[in-house]
Structure 1
């Protein structure tokens, strides 16, 4: 019997898997959002840092050029040289960092223009010659101051925009930073609760299964015991004891079967008691038939013989014919009585199993029923086995005597062979007589059926009926194979 899983456990497993997947997705979304916002905050800091760096480098370059103008020392031009190499790279990095912000891109374009303008102003100042007048120099320095003022103003606008973005992104980052541990914690708590619930349900299911298995084992042991009682009753019935009873009063199928078997054994006991009584009456009838019926027959036969002996000279040929017919009828009647007694007694006598040598048994039967002018051949592989000798002897006696009786010539050939078929031996009794037409094959085993003239003394029609009854009593089978002019073969099986 297959145990079924509680549907609640299946639903719980599906729910647990669903919640775990949901919490995993929520955790992934929260952590991913936190990472995105963190990168955006870092991106804002990088933009601010790069803008501040551009402004600072440009301011250092201006200060260095002014120091050079005042002192004439070329060491002050070093910041300008550094700015010439560094500012294009910084502007390029800023362009990449603000690629997703069109407003900042526009400001960056303005910043790039101001830086180029500043370089155009400062570059001539780094190459002082006597040809530049003081007024031209003063104009360049004034223009430089205005350009740097515009750079600072643009720097402030960029910083203000980035600070606004920083505040927005920091707020979003803070939301994700707070939500992520909450989501993870809630997911873990839900998972733990579901796992605990599942463990409790599984433990209960296992306990229920163990209890059910224990109950089933007890029921199985009880059923096995009751079935053993039924089997014991059946075995006793097979052995012929019909008085047994089963003490099983349970109101279930086995209890009903036990009650039915009790009624069956009670009925069988009554039936076999009645049958035993009928058999005793049949035995009494056989005794009466063998003594009370045969005695008058023998008396009439004796009277006929006296008439033939004492009045032989006074008997006319016609009267002698009548007397011969009377003797034939009396002889046939006696044979019929003997045949009926033999048929009635088949299966009712005790069957004693003895070691039987079939070859030796056939030689003994042949001495009784096979005339000298007939030839009997037997195969060399006749078995020796434990069986009912009297029953097998009766079968061979009737079959061989029939083969002799119904032979159309004065002499003939008889053959008996044997074949092992597993649980049975298959014997074949074959003759070379006139054969039997196929339309009579099913009739010859019927009681009183004969293919000879009914007035023939030796043809009672009981012999093959006795053979079939004996073989049936031993759970064997018999059949005939024959055709006119081809002899007759009787094939029968006999259990080992």
Structure 2
């Protein structure tokens, strides 16, 4: 059973998210509008304050110059000196503040010209060593009064413009101040209502989920019990009991699986019974081959020896050649029978795990199959294994005897090394013989396959097949690395 979320909850969540986004956007718009209008109002006050500062500083500079002219005291020139540094900076600030208002920018340009004109008028009056006639001074003072009057007029116009902007911006600010709390309150109320509705729906959904979980728990317990029966059947099949059955007749997939497994075990029971019968027949055949076939073979071999001994003086060289070939064929036939028996017995006899010192095992094998004119080098760090000694001995025996048999050049050098390969040890049996071409690397492991003429070397072609079968029975792998004239290296893995 699959639990599904109520579509109403999904729709409610989507609606809640949508409304919250809208209310958040409205609140953001309202708060941002309030912030913008507040900044605009502050901006207007800054412009008014800065213009007022310009006129005030200019008036102070005029008054100071007039005081200087009346008293001759240079202390009155301090406001004028300060004005020369303050007014350019104030005008630059005004220029920045009114950058978005072209009308005020034009008035500001006029104000800047009047300020510069005022400085041109006042500058000659502040020069102590410059004697100015009374008429010239009177003219300058009259012009100064007119300039200051124009400054006041321009100041009033700038103030009026800013006051109008201030009224507009204050109205907008008041509107946003009133709208923002209302928007936030509506948003909060909608959010609370949606959350309450969602909580009710979620509580209902959780109750349904708990009921579904209880049902699923009961179903899982029943399924686990039935799966445990199937696992128990599998374990008994692995242990060789093919008569086990599952008592599960439910009309579902597990019931169908139980029925199929019951049929499988019944089939396996019949199949393995037949296989056991055939294995017994194969054992009987091996017994017959080892006794009934080998007995007449030994008789023929004995007769050939008698002929060779009794008629030694009468045999021509050609007959002696034929007799030698006959003896070789009889010997190869005996080896073939022995090889077939050995191949058939691989994996069919009980394997006894014993502690095997590989270095000592190789010494024993070398005594049997490596001639005195060959040198055998056994690498260091040969392991000690708890394994099937007879199987490992047969692998090394066949590989070393093959290396000697097919060497061709007489005396040779053999080398055996080992390395740790994780769960396995990897052994390498290397010779310096004629080598094997790449196209034969897989062929040599097939039954009855040999790369040399049987007249040249008596071989059954079973040795490497037995080696491969033994290694496969022990979950290992074998391969050959060789090329013509470079010797051959047989690499196989053996479990630790």
TM-score w.r.t. length of structure 2: 0.62
Asked if 1:7 is matched to 2:10, the reply is no
Asked if 1:483 is matched to 2:483, the reply is yes
**1:269: how far off?**
1.9
Aligned to 1:249: 249
Aligned to 1:237: 237
Aligned to 2:451: 451
**1:208: how far off?**
1.4
Helix, strand or coil at the partner of 2:435: coil
Q: Could you give the per-residue CA deviations for residues 84-132 of structure 1, whole angstroms, max 9, x where no partner exists? A: xxxxxxxxxxxxxxxxxxxxxxxxxxxxxxxxxxxxxxxxxxxxxxxxx
Contact persistence 1:242–1:266 (CA under 8 A): yes
What does 1:319-358 align with in structure 2 at a 5 Å threshold? 319-358=319-358
Distance 2:443 2:20 in 1: 86
Aligned to 2:385: 385
Helix, strand or coil at the partner of 2:351: coil
What does 1:43-192 align with in structure 2 at a 5 Å threshold? none
What does 1:268-347 align with in structure 2 at a 5 Å threshold? 268-347=268-347
**1:217: how far off?**
1.7
**1:20: how far off?**
11
Distance 1:19 1:411 in 2: 96
Aligned to 2:264: 264
Name the count of aligned residue pairs.
334
Distance 1:314 1:247, change over 3 A: same
Distance 1:306 1:17 in 2: 110
Helix, strand or coil at the partner of 1:430: strand
**1:303: how far off?**
1.0
Distance 1:419 1:201 in 2: 68
**1:456: how far off?**
5.0
What does 1:457-472 align with in structure 2 at a 5 Å threshold? 458-472=458-472
Helix, strand or coil at the partner of 1:385: strand
Aligned to 1:82: none
Helix, strand or coil at the partner of 1:265: helix
Aligned to 2:474: 474
Aligned to 2:398: 398
Q: Could you give the per-residue CA deviations for residues 402-444 of structure 1, whole angstroms, max 9, x where no partner exists? A: 0111111221111111111112111100011111122221211
Over the aligned positions, Cα root-mean-square deviation in angstroms equals 3.0
Distance 1:19 1:368 in 2: 94
Aligned to 1:207: 207
Helix, strand or coil at the partner of 1:261: helix
**1:324: how far off?**
1.5
Contact persistence 1:335–1:458 (CA under 8 A): no
Larger radius of gyration: 1
Helix, strand or coil at the partner of 1:349: coil
**1:194: how far off?**
8.3
**1:315: how far off?**
2.2
Q: Which runs of 5+ in 1 are unaligned?
A: 23-183
**1:470: how far off?**
0.9
Distance 1:211 1:311, change over 3 A: same
Helix, strand or coil at the partner of 1:368: helix
Which segment is superposed worse, 377-386 or 329-338?
377-386
Distance 1:233 1:419 in 2: 41
Contact persistence 2:478–2:492 (CA under 8 A): yes
Asked if 1:422 is matched to 2:404, the reply is no
Distance 1:208 1:314 in 2: 109
Which segment is superposed worse, 369-378 or 198-207?
198-207
Which segment is superposed worse, 428-437 or 261-270?
261-270
Contact persistence 1:332–1:456 (CA under 8 A): no
Distance 1:199 1:298 in 2: 98
Helix, strand or coil at the partner of 1:444: helix
Which segment is superposed worse, 385-394 or 199-208?
199-208
**1:364: how far off?**
1.3
Distance 1:394 1:17, change over 3 A: closer
Helix, strand or coil at the partner of 2:443: coil
Distance 1:211 1:227 in 2: 24
Distance 2:357 2:439 in 1: 36
**1:326: how far off?**
1.3
Q: Could you give the per-residue CA deviations for residues 181-232 of structure 1, whole angstroms, max 9, x where no partner exists? A: xxx9xx99x9999888765543332221111111112222222333333233
TM-score w.r.t. length of structure 1: 0.62
**1:8: how far off?**
2.6
